Chain A
Amino acid sequence: MTRALVAIRSVSQRFGVDGASVPALEAIDLEIPDGQFVAVVGPSGCGKSTLLSLVAGLRVPSSGTVLCDGEPITAPMPRKVGMIFQEANLLPWLSAEDNVAFPLKLRRVARAERLAAARRMLELTGLAGFETRLPHQLSGGMKQRVAIARGLVQNPAVLLMDEPFASLDEQTRMVLGDELLRIWSETRKTVLFVTHSLNEAVYLADRVVVLSARPGRVVDDVAVDLPRPRSFAMTSSERFGVLKDRIWQHIKHAERR
């Protein structure tokens, strides 16, 4: 195993709700090697998104440490970590290319240079020809491609994805899933992908981390040993079913409580 790029060490997170302290995550330990595609699943409200926001540096854990490349994360590290949300969250007044270039603009990269980088990313995500469109002129799937391009434009080592396809229709979701795998195989990012969909998790990931109901703990860590490149046909294979069922058993129990 290569060295861990992202290391989550005995991380717990508590939230103050109406004066009481509610645990959201408890004693999470995860080592994610460079280039691995990790899906995080768990019952609703288990703290999956909280886990991502800790790696994104949007909050600091109540206890424990999150390391990226050996460095503790205490604030966002935009050059190392790109993030994609459930909604594309594009700036609606900027064109597709300016949205993709936005992280570079914040770093005061010259306009010509950042637009060139943005266009390369839009080409990678299959949006060549749509550079000057405004977000409201793009479909939901295209907006999410722009968001992925924006996440990649600084060439970060880690890509955090918080249910990125959850608000898309099924066909778009499947097409974008394959696109994501193609982009991942071309760029070899370390991906931390939160999802509700077990199909999506098993289909996309090298490894599926299963969290328990709140407070979230790691209850299983499933290596997905399906060959790559993945194909749609694999989703009906026996192995796919076995993996999915193993994950489902954990979630089923948690959701029943």
Chain B
Amino acid sequence: MRRHERLIVAAGALGLFVLWEVLVRLGRIDASLAPAPSTILDALSRLLRRPEVLASLGVTAWEVLAAFLIAVPLGLGLGFLLAEVSALDALFRPLVNFLFGVPKSIFLPVFILVFGVSIPQKIAFGVFTTIFVLIVGGVAAVQSVPRELVTVGRVYGATRWQVVREIYLPAMAPILLESARLGMVFNITAVLLCEIYGARDGIGYRIAAWGENLQMPQLYAALVLVAAAAVAVNEALRLVETRLGAWRQRS
């Protein structure tokens, strides 16, 4: 985005908030359903000073991170395996494709039955939701490596390990990172869904509680917080992706 475009977007957003604020103050919007932006900001600053809220954020962050750190190597590894071993691919690809398209949320009750309402349950459900996009991404990454580049490596005497490190990994890096970023989006959604559905702690648990008690300023403040965190993680991953994928031809 060019600079003046950014300014327009920022001005537009600001205008919207000002309009919202004015309409609430004029009594045209019901403040008990949609509190004024100033009220939400105020609630946000108070939330950030409450240790138990910060602790809940920490629990959620831990669950998200743990699920991500398990799902990424596991999912990509399974993807590589499917891409390289055609027998496994024939056996498991239909299952992966089937589950890829099924909404994972319908399995949540099963996870509660198996793991109980617990942190491992959140992590397991996060992994389950994330892993399919990573398997599919892993397969796509391997298949994206041009055969000719592998031939070049062989002609110039690359060992098997050098072919992997010098050709496969850099060639696959942009797709791997893209899969990880997409997986992270699924992962955050899954963990929050778990927490909202049933939990003892975590920011999703608090959001559900505030919603049930009609504590709208806190609810909206938490939404702002979670949205900001999710966007920050996404943009950070995208930044790495752009850096490592700068060689990809943009036409």
A residues sitting closer than 8 Å to B (CB atoms) are 56, 58, 76-79, 81, 83, 85, 87, 89, 91-94, 102-103, 105-107, 134-136, 150
Contacts and interface: CB of A to CB of B under 8 A. Distances in A.
Contacts of A93: 170-171, 173, 247
Interface of B: 146, 148-149, 151-159, 162, 166-167, 170-171, 173, 246-249
B148 A89 contact: yes
Contact of B149 (A79, A89, A136): A89
Nearest to B159: A106
B148 A85 contact: yes
Contacts of A91: 149, 152, 166-167, 170-171
Nearest to A107: B157
Contacts, number: 59
Contacts of B152: 85, 89, 91, 102
A56 B171 CA distance: 24
Given A83-B155, A103-B157, 19 more contacts: A58-B151, A77-B157, A78-B157, A81-B155, A89-B146, A89-B149, A89-B152, A91-B149, A91-B152, A91-B171, A92-B249, A93-B170, A106-B153, A106-B157, A106-B159, A106-B162, A134-B246, A134-B247, A136-B249
Contacts of A136: 247-249
A102 B166 CA distance: 9
B156 A76 contact: yes
| Interface SS, B side | helix
Contacts of B155: 56, 58, 76, 78, 81, 83
B156 A58 contact: no
Residue with the highest number of chain A CB atoms closer than 10 Å, among B148, B152, B156, B249: B156
Given A58-B151, A105-B166, A106-B166, A92 B247 contact: yes
Given A87-B148, A106-B162, A92 B248 contact: yes
A83 B171 CA distance: 21
28 contacts: A56-B155, A58-B151, A58-B154, A58-B155, A76-B155, A76-B156, A76-B157, A78-B155, A78-B157, A81-B155, A85-B152, A89-B151, A89-B152, A91-B149, A91-B167, A91-B170, A91-B171, A93-B170, A93-B247, A103-B157, A105-B166, A106-B153, A106-B156, A106-B157, A107-B157, A134-B246, A134-B247, A136-B248
B161 to A, nearest CB: 11
Contacts of B158: 106
B172 to A, nearest CB: 11
B9 to A, nearest CB: 30
B66 to A, nearest CB: 32
Contacts of B156: 76, 78, 102-103, 106, 150
